[in-house]
Chain A
Amino acid sequence: MNAEPEPGSPRDDSRRTFLKQSSLLTALALVPGPVVSAAEAKLDERVAESIEQVPLSLKVNGKKLKLSVEPRTTLLDLLRENLHLTGTKKGCDYGQCGACTVHVDGQRVNSCLSFAVMHEGKEITTIEGLADGDELHPMQEAFVKHDGFQCGYCTPGQIMSAVACVREGHAGSAAEIREFMSGNICRCGAYSNIVAAIQEVKKGGQKV
Chain B
Amino acid sequence: MNQFQYIRPTKQQAAIDAVAKDPNARFIAGGTNLVDLMKRGVMTPQKLVDINRLPLNKIEHQNNGLSIGALALNSAVAEDRQVREKQPLLALALNAGASPQLRNMATVGGNMLQRTRCAYFYDTTMPCNKRQPGTGCGALEGVNRMHAIFGFSDKCIAVHPSDMSVALVALDAVVQVSGPQGNRSIPFADFHRLPGDTPEKDTNLEPGELITGVDVPDGPFTKHVHYQKVRERASYAFALLSVAAALDIDGSNTIKAARLAMGGVAHKPWRLTAAEQALVGKLATEETFRQAAAVAMQGAKAFKHNAYKLKLGPNAIVQALKTAAAA
A155 close to chain B: CB less than 8 A: no
B35: which A residues are within 8 A, CB to CB? Answer: 74, 113-115
A63 close to chain B: CB less than 8 A: no
**Docked-complex contact B105 and A114, CB < 8 angstroms:** yes
Q: Determine which of A51, A101, A170 lies in contact with B101 in the assembled complex, contact meaning CB atoms within 8 Å.
A: A101
Q: Given A117-B6, A120-B8, A183-B236, A108–B31 Cβ distance below 8 Å?
A: no
Q: Given A95-B36, A113-B35, A183–B6 Cβ distance below 8 Å?
A: no
**Docked-complex contact B8 and A180, CB < 8 angstroms:** no
**Docked-complex contact A115 and B39, CB < 8 angstroms:** no
**Docked-complex contact A94 and B235, CB < 8 angstroms:** no
A54 close to chain B: CB less than 8 A: yes
B327 close to chain A: CB less than 8 A: no
A17 to chain B, nearest CB (A): 28
Interface bin, chain B = 20 to 34
Instruction: Kindly supply a per-residue 1/0 record for chain B positions 37-61, scoring 1 wherever the CB is within 8 Å of any chain A CB and 0 otherwise.
Output: 0111000000010101000000000
**Docked-complex contact B31 and A165, CB < 8 angstroms:** no
B4: which A residues are within 8 A, CB to CB? Answer: 71-72
- The residues in B between 96 and 143 inclusive whose CB is less than 8 angstroms from any CB of A are 98-102, 104-105
Alpha-carbon separation in the docked complex, A181 to B236 (Å): 10
A87 close to chain B: CB less than 8 A: no
**Docked-complex contact B6 and A115, CB < 8 angstroms:** yes
**Docked-complex contact B105 and A110, CB < 8 angstroms:** yes
Q: Given A94-B36, A95-B102, A182–B6 Cβ distance below 8 Å?
A: no
25 pairs across A/B with beta carbons < 8 Å? A52-B3, A52-B5, A95-B32, A95-B36, A95-B102, A108-B101, A110-B32, A110-B101, A113-B32, A113-B36, A114-B31, A114-B105, A115-B35, A115-B48, A117-B8, A118-B28, A118-B31, A161-B100, A168-B100, A170-B100, A182-B234, A182-B236, A183-B98, A183-B99, A183-B236
- List 4 other contacts, CB 8 Å, given A52-B3, A110-B105, A113-B35: A71-B6, A94-B36, A94-B39, A178-B234
